[in-house]
């Protein structure tokens, strides 16, 4: 669970090599940016009955957290630091892009 995030802070800013994730705004509202290295989309999560599936290989950013937002993140794998791609340039190399 992610909570207590100030509205001016950004979370995420990484991709996973193997882990699948499912995000739900259990309470409140936030925006999620999804980037596959070719296209970038922004989605608003605001209802606990609607979730967002993030497969591996998607750069994810969560921001615009409203006060008291609670983000539930379900993951297919246990934490593994080696599964994370934390540098955007490295991410673009992994997905076969030289940049934008």
**Identified catalytic residue from 14, 16, 20, 78:** 14
- Which strand (E) or helix (H) includes residue 92? helix 88-94
Predicted local distance difference test score (pLDDT) of residue 99: 47
The 10 Å Cβ neighbour count of residue 91 is 20
**Domains of the chain by range and CATH?**
2-94 (2.60.120.10)
Among 29, 42, 32, residue whose Cα is nearest residue 69: 29
Dihedral of the CA atoms 15, 21, 22, 23 (nearest 10)? -40
Q: Give the tens place of pLDDT for each residue, 45-96.
A: 999 999 999 999 999 999 999 999 999 999 999 999 999 999 999 999 999 8
Q: Which of 24, 35, 48 is nearest to 92 (CA)?
A: 35
* Over residues 19-45, mean pLDDT: 98
pTM of the model: 0.90
**What pLDDT does 81 receive?**
97
The CA distance from 49 to 27, in Å, is 10
Active site residue 14: yes
Instruction: State residue 96's pLDDT score.
Output: 85
Q: Is a pLDDT exceeding 90 seen at residue 100?
A: no
């Amino acid at each position: 669970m992610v909570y207590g995030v100030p509205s001016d802070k950004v979370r995420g800013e990484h991709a996973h090599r193997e882990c699948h994730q499912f995000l739900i705004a259990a309470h409140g509202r936030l925006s999620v940016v999804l980037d596959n290295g070719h296209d970038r989309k922004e989605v608003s999560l605001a209802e606990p009955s609607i979730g967002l599936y993030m497969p591996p290989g998607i750069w994810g950013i969560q921001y615009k957290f409203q006060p008291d937002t609670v983000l539930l993140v379900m993951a297919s794998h246990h934490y593994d630091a080696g599964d994370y791609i934390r540098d955007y340039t490295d991410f673009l190399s992994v997905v076969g892009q030289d940049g934008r």
